[in-house]
Structure 1
Amino acid sequence: MSEAPYKTWQCRTCGYIYDEEAGDPNEGLAPGTRWSDLPDTWICPLCGTPKSDFDMIEL
Structure 2
Amino acid sequence: MDAALLITREFWCDAAPWSAQWPVDPPRDAALRGTVWFRTSGSSGTPKWVVLTKSALLAS
Whether these two folds match at TM > 0.5 is no
More relative contact order, 1 or 2 (CA 8 Å, 6+ apart): 1
With normalisation by structure 2, the TM-score equals 0.25
Structure of greater Rg:
2
Q: Give the number of the structure whose residues are more often helix, by fraction.
A: 2
